[in-house]
Structure 1
Amino acid sequence: MKTHAEKPLSSVALSAAENDSNAIIFIEHPKPESNNSEVIIQELVSHNIKHIFLVPGKLIYPFINAIDSSEIKGIVGAHETACGFMADGYARASRKFGVCLAISGPGTMNFIPAMAAAQADRIPVLYLAGGISTYHEAQGAFQDGSNSGLDELTIVKPLLNSAVEIKNGSTLKYELRRSLISLNTQRKGRAYLSMPVDIQKKKMTEHPQLKPLKPTDSYESPIDIKALEKVLKLHILGKSKVAILAGHRVNNRSDAILLHHLAEKYQIPVATTLSGKGAFSEEHTLSLGVYGFAGHTRAVETINGEDVDVLIVFGCDLSQRDSLNWTPKLHGNKRLILIDEDFEKSCLHYQPDVQVFSNLNGALQHLVNAVDEHDTRLEEVKEWRKEWLQKINNLPLILKRSELPSQNINEKQYIYPGDAIKHLRQHMSSNTNVVVDSGAHRIFMAHYWQSNGCGDYHTSSSLAPMGWAVCAGIGIKLAAPENDCLVVTGDGCMLMHGMEIQTAARYGIKVIFVVMNNSAHGAMYIDTLHNRGISSGYTALPNHDWVAFAHSLGVTAARASTLEDLDAALDVAHDHDGPFLIEIEVGNDTPPNRYYADSTFEFEQRISNL
C-alpha cells in the first residue's frame, strides 16, 4: 500500500521507499472462532511483524498460544527490560515497530527502562501485557497491576502515546486501532496494551467491522513543496556555501539513499550527529564526519567556522550532544534552516532563520528530483563550490591520539581502543549493522568506526542505558537477517544485560559481540586518572573473565590481547554459525572527545556570566 500521494516516483525515490511500512492495515474478517488474544496477534501478522520478544508467565498463556499458532516467532529473553530493548532494535532495523510481551505488574515495571529509552529516541514499540483475571481485582490479589492494585497505567502513561487496559472484548478492535495508529513510523509513538487473562481467553465479541484505513489515513506529515522550492532556489542553487547536518530521523536506509543523492547532485558536504551517524558514508568525499559528541575535526571546524553561509539541518533536535552544548557557533553568522517532520523538542536553544515542517523522506525526494540533471544551474553551483570543498577535504577527520596518561588497571598488555576499532572495520562487511552501547567505547566507536552510510549504525543516544546494545543487537539481527551484525559493548554494560547473549545462543542468532574490557566504568575511571570526578574505588571493576562467562551460556568466545589475536578471532567468528563473543583487553585511554569537552567548559563559562 502506498503511503504518499498518488504520483510517479523517480527510480531514486522508488528504491528509497522499498521498505516503507507506514501504512496501517487491519484485518476485515478475523476468524469467527478467534479469542481476543488471537485477534491481537492476527493484527500484528497483518503488519508483517515476524518476532515478539517476551518473558513467559501464567498471565500470558493465551497470548503465547496465539503466537504459537501464528506466523510470528516468540523470542524468550532473560529479562523484560532486555525484551523491550530487543523490540527497540527490531523497530530501528525493520522500519516497522517492535513488539514485546510480559505479565502485568512486575513484567510491566521491568518494561519501564526500555519504554524510557524508546521514548527518548522516538522509537515505535508496542508493549503487550497480560493481567490478573477481572474477578480477582480489588481484593489484594497476587501481582495485581490493575487500577485497583498497582495502577500501572498511571505509572507508564508519561512514557507512552497510548496506554489502555482492555476489559471488554467489544472495545478490543477500537483500542487496538488507537494503539497501532500511534506506532506509525512518522508518529514514532509507543503504545501499552494490557488485557486480563480471562479476557484474553474469551471469544471475540461480535461488533460492526472496522474499515481498513486508506493510504491517506497513514498519518504522515505533509510535504511543504512551496517552502522547499524556496530553500532550493535561494540557497541550494544559489552562490552559497551550504552544509548539511543530518540527525537521527534520517538515519535509515531509505532516507540515507536520498541524502547521498542530494549531496552529490548539488555538491553539499554532510555532517551527521552521533544519533545520525549511519545516514551518510564517512568514506565519501563529501563527508564531514560526526558533529557534536565524539565529533570529527572536519565536521566541527567546518560547521563552527566562518565559511559556511547556510546550514540545513535534517531531522535533528539539536540536543546537548548534537549541538556541542548548544554552542552559538552552530548558528553564528550563517543562515540556519531546519527541515523536519517533528519539532516537538528541537530549536529550544536556537531561533532558526527558516523552519520547514515536512515529511523528511518526501522532502529529500523533492529536493533530489526537482532539478533536471541537464539544468545549467547545476554545473554553475558545482563549479562555484569546488574550491571550497577542496579546502574542507584538507582538514583531518580523526583527532590525534591524546598524550594524556592512560592506564590499564591490571598493568597487562592491552590494545588501544581506536586501533581495535579500525581492525573491526576492516574485517566486517560493508553492510554490517553495528550496534553500540554506552561508555568510553561509544566515543571511540563514533570517532574511529567509518560508517557505510546506509542506516547501518545504531545507538541509544538520548537516554543511553548501559547494556542496551547487547539486547538491541539481537532484535536488529532478526529484523535484518541478511546483514552482518556487530555489537560493541563494555564490561560495565555486560554487567547490566550481558546475560542476554544466552538468548542469541538459544536461538542460534549470528551476532558478533565485542566486549571492550578495561576493568572499569571507563569514562569515569579516566576522570580519576586525571584527578577529576570521584575516587577510583567507585569506578574500577573486577577483571571478569568474559570468555568463560560466554562459554557458560553456550556462546563460543575468544580473547584478544593483541591486534593479531583480534584478527584471528574475527576470522573464526565470521565462519562460526551462531553468536560469537570476542573479549578485547583495552586500556583506559583518554577518548577522542576534545571538542565536546571544550564546549562543556565554554557552556559553563556562558552560564556563569548570566
Structure 2
Amino acid sequence: MNAAEVIVRSLEKHGVTCVFGVPGGAIESLNTALYKSSISVIVAKHEEGAAFMADGYARVSGVIAVCCSTAGPGATNMITGIASAFGDSIPVIALTGQVSTSLFGKGAIQEFSVQSFGIVSIFRQITKYSDIIINENKAGEMISRARRLALTGRKGPVHLNLPADIMKRKVTDDSHERCSTTQVLGFDREAVKKAAQLLLGAKRPVIVAGWGTVLSRADKELLELAELLDIPVATSPKAKGILSEVHPLSLGVLGFAGSPVAKEYILKRDVDVLLAVGTSFNEFVTSGWDKRLLPMKSLIHVDIDCNEIGKNYYVHVGIAGDAATVLRELVFEIGRIRKGRRIENTRRKEVEQVRAALLVKTRKQNKALYSPHRLIMDLNEALPKNTLYFADNGNSMAWAIRYLTITEPYSFYVGLGFASMGFAVAAPIGAKLAAGDRPVVALVGDGSFLMNGMEVATAVNYNIPVIWVIMNNAMLGMVYHGRKLAGIPEGIPSGFKPVDHVKLAEALGARGIRITTPGEINRELMDDILAAGVPTVLDVIIDPEEVPPIHSRISSLEKLYT
C-alpha cells in the first residue's frame, strides 16, 4: 500500500463512512485510495462548506468526521470551518494536499509560502494538532496520532498536510498504524464530596449546564441530579434543550436572547450555590460577564478543561473532569449522604411561580408580513418533536434561542464557538447524514444564506433532504437592529437588494417555496415537505422592523467595547 492508502485504511478501520471535500490535483492519491475503499465522498461546492458539513456530522453523531481539500487556496478556504470546530470542541480531521517535496521553494502552483510549511503553521492556531507527513512510513503513525488527539480530553479538530509525492510512495513499515484513545473520566473525590455537601446545604441552588454537558452526552445524569435535589436548571445558548424546556425545573436559556425566567431566577434572586457544568462562562452565557451571576455563597465549576475553571469568575470548588462522569459521582455521593431522605419539591414550585409571573400570552399576529416571532412558533407547532434545528449566527439564532421550545436533548445546534455566519447553511447537510430519519431544519437569515447557499446544490446532488427556512428581510438584520438600538449610523450599509431565493433554490435543483402570509407555515405544509423527502428552501418574507431579542448583546457591546 502507498501512504494515501494507509491513511484511508486507518479511517475506514475506525468507522469513518464518509468524507466531505473538494477534489484537486494535489490530493489525487487520496482520491484513488478513497475510490478503492468503502468510504463515500460528499463533494461540496466550497471547502468551507465541506468543513462545516464535517462539523455538522460530528456534532450530531458524536463520532469523528473528515474533510479534505487540495493545496493552497483549497486549504485556506477550510480555515473558517475548522476554526468553528475548534471553538466548539468538535472532532474533525482536516486533510489538505501539498505539492511534491521536490518542488518546495520553487513556486509550484498552489505552493504555500517558503518551504511549504506555512499552511501547517496556520492550522496550528485553530486545531489541537497540525503537521505535515514527510516520510511515507510515518503515515500510519501520524493519522493515528491525529485521531487520538482529536478524541482525547477536550475534543477538537486536527490537521494533516499531505505532499503529493509522499502519498504515492509505497509504505514498507506501517507497524505504528494503531490508535487508542484515552478519555478524561477521572475526578477529584474530595472536591466531589465538598460539592455534594454544598448542594445539600443550599437553600436556593441552581445549575447552569453548558456545551460540555452536550459534548459529554450528560442529559440523563443532569436530569437525575436536578430531580434528586429539586434544583432548577438553566442552560447556555449552545446547550439549549439538554434538559427538556417543558420540565418543571427548566429555567430555559441563560444569557444571549435567553429566557426571562432564567434571568429573573438567577440574576435577580439570592442564589446561594451555583453548580456550573461544562461552561466557560463566556460573553454569550453571562451577558458580558454580569457580576450578578456570582452566587451569594459558593460557585462549583465542573469542566473537562481545567483552564476554564475560574477563568471568568472566582470558584470555590473546581472539579476537572468529564461532565457526565462528575455528575454521576455527585449523584452517588449525595445518595450516600442522604440515605434515602426525600427533598421537598419546593423549588420547582418557585420556578412555576416565576414563570407564571413573567408569562405574556402571545397572540399570533396576523400582520401583512410574517413576524419572526410567529414564524418560530409556527415551526415549533408544525414540525415533529424530534426535529434537529441548526440556527445560524444573527437574528435567526436570537429568535430561535428565545422562542423555540426544545423538548429532546441534542436537537438544537448553534456554531457559537467562533460565531461564523453561514455555518448553519452547510452544517445541516452533514448533520442529516448522521441523523437518519430525524428531520433537519436550518434557520438562517438571507445574509447568511447568500454566503454558503450554493451548498444547496450539494444536498441536491446527493438527495440529502435538509429544509432551509430563510428569514428574508434584504438585510444583515443583527447589524441593522443593533445599530438602531445603539444609535449608530449606517456608514457601511446593512441592507441590500432583495433576492428571490425560490428561483435560486430551483436553479440549484431544490424545491423552493415562497412564504409571504402569516400562518402559511403549518403542519399540512411541513408534512408535505417531509413526505416529499427532497432538499427544500422556504423563502419567508419577514417583517424587517420587528426588533429581535438582542438587547443584552447591545448592552454588552456598549459596556465592553467603548
Compute the TM-score of the two structures, normalised by the length of structure 1.
0.86
Q: Is the 8 A contact 2:8 2:33 kept in 1?
A: yes
Per-residue Cα deviation, 1:115-144 (whole angstroms, up to 9, x for no partner): 221222222211101211222222221111
- In the TM superposition, 1:13-52 aligns within 5 A as 34-52=1-19
- Tell whether 2:149 aligns with 1:194: no
Paired position in structure 2 for 1:357: 320
**Cα displacement (A) at 1:341:** 0.9
Over the matched positions of the two proteins, sequence identity in percent amounts to 31
Paired position in structure 2 for 1:587: 543
**Cα displacement (A) at 1:345:** 4.1
Per-residue Cα deviation, 1:375-412 (whole angstroms, up to 9, x for no partner): 56541x234546544434434367989x9xxxxxxxx9
- Tell whether 2:262 aligns with 1:299: yes
- 1:251 aligned counterpart, secondary structure: helix
- In the TM superposition, 1:108-257 aligns within 5 A as 108-145=75-112, 147-149=114-116, 151-184=118-151, 186-206=153-173, 208-209=175-176, 213=180, 218-232=182-196, 234-252=197-215, 254-257=217-220
Query: Considering only aligned residues, what root-mean-square deviation do their CA atoms show, in Å?
Result: 2.5
1:546 to 497, 501, 515: 501
Per-residue Cα deviation, 1:226-250 (whole angstroms, up to 9, x for no partner): 3213212x13333522111011111
- Tell whether 2:228 aligns with 1:265: yes
Per-residue Cα deviation, 1:524-543 (whole angstroms, up to 9, x for no partner): 22245557223287011211
Are the structure 2 counterparts of residues 398 and 584 from structure 1 closer, same or farther at C-alpha, using a change threshold of 3 Å?
A: farther
Alignment partners' CA distance in 2, 1:225 and 1:517? 53
**Cα displacement (A) at 1:218:** 1.1
Alignment partners' CA distance in 2, 1:466 and 1:143? 27
**Cα displacement (A) at 1:149:** 4.2
**Cα displacement (A) at 1:314:** 0.5
Are the structure 2 counterparts of residues 240 and 529 from structure 1 closer, same or farther at C-alpha, using a change threshold of 3 Å?
A: closer
Are the structure 2 counterparts of residues 385 and 219 from structure 1 closer, same or farther at C-alpha, using a change threshold of 3 Å?
A: closer
Are the structure 2 counterparts of residues 297 and 386 from structure 1 closer, same or farther at C-alpha, using a change threshold of 3 Å?
A: closer
Are the structure 2 counterparts of residues 86 and 537 from structure 1 closer, same or farther at C-alpha, using a change threshold of 3 Å?
A: same
Q: Is the 8 A contact 1:318 1:347 kept in 2?
A: no
Alignment partners' CA distance in 1, 2:90 and 2:72? 23
2:245 to 275, 279, 282: 282
- 2:481 aligned counterpart, secondary structure: helix
Structure 1, unpaired ranges of 5+:
1-33, 404-411
Paired position in structure 1 for 2:358: 396
**Cα displacement (A) at 1:252:** 4.6
1:576 to 521, 529, 532: 532
Q: Is the 8 A contact 1:243 1:311 kept in 2?
A: yes
- 1:524 aligned counterpart, secondary structure: helix
- In the TM superposition, 1:458-607 aligns within 5 A as 458-527=413-482, 529=484, 532-535=487-490, 538-567=493-522, 568-588=524-544, 589-598=546-555, 603=559
**Cα displacement (A) at 1:470:** 0.9
Are the structure 2 counterparts of residues 37 and 456 from structure 1 closer, same or farther at C-alpha, using a change threshold of 3 Å?
A: same
2:76 partner amino acid: M
Are the structure 2 counterparts of residues 500 and 305 from structure 1 closer, same or farther at C-alpha, using a change threshold of 3 Å?
A: same
Structure 2, unpaired ranges of 5+:
none
Per-residue Cα deviation, 1:37-57 (whole angstroms, up to 9, x for no partner): 111111112221221101011
Are the structure 2 counterparts of residues 259 and 504 from structure 1 closer, same or farther at C-alpha, using a change threshold of 3 Å?
A: same
**Cα displacement (A) at 1:201:** 1.9
Are the structure 2 counterparts of residues 399 and 458 from structure 1 closer, same or farther at C-alpha, using a change threshold of 3 Å?
A: farther
* Number of equivalences: 558
Q: Is the 8 A contact 1:51 1:99 kept in 2?
A: yes
Per-residue Cα deviation, 1:57-77 (whole angstroms, up to 9, x for no partner): 122122122222222210000
Alignment partners' CA distance in 1, 2:9 and 2:360? 50
Are the structure 2 counterparts of residues 333 and 110 from structure 1 closer, same or farther at C-alpha, using a change threshold of 3 Å?
A: same
Compute the TM-score of the two structures, normalised by the length of structure 2.
0.93
- In the TM superposition, 1:342-421 aligns within 5 A as 342-345=305-308, 347-370=310-333, 372=335, 378-379=341-342, 381-383=343-345, 385=347, 388-396=350-358, 413-421=368-376
Deviates more, 1:111-120 or 1:362-371: 362-371
Are the structure 2 counterparts of residues 264 and 398 from structure 1 closer, same or farther at C-alpha, using a change threshold of 3 Å?
A: farther
Alignment partners' CA distance in 2, 1:306 and 1:335? 15
Alignment partners' CA distance in 1, 2:487 and 2:500? 29
1:87 partner amino acid: A
Are the structure 2 counterparts of residues 342 and 48 from structure 1 closer, same or farther at C-alpha, using a change threshold of 3 Å?
A: same
Q: Is the 8 A contact 1:92 1:123 kept in 2?
A: yes
Deviating 4+ runs (over 6 angstroms)? 397-401
Alignment partners' CA distance in 1, 2:376 and 2:540? 10
- 1:84 aligned counterpart, secondary structure: helix
- 1:488 aligned counterpart, secondary structure: strand
Per-residue Cα deviation, 1:246-296 (whole angstroms, up to 9, x for no partner): 111112583123212221222111101112213121111111011010011
Deviates more, 1:142-151 or 1:163-172: 142-151
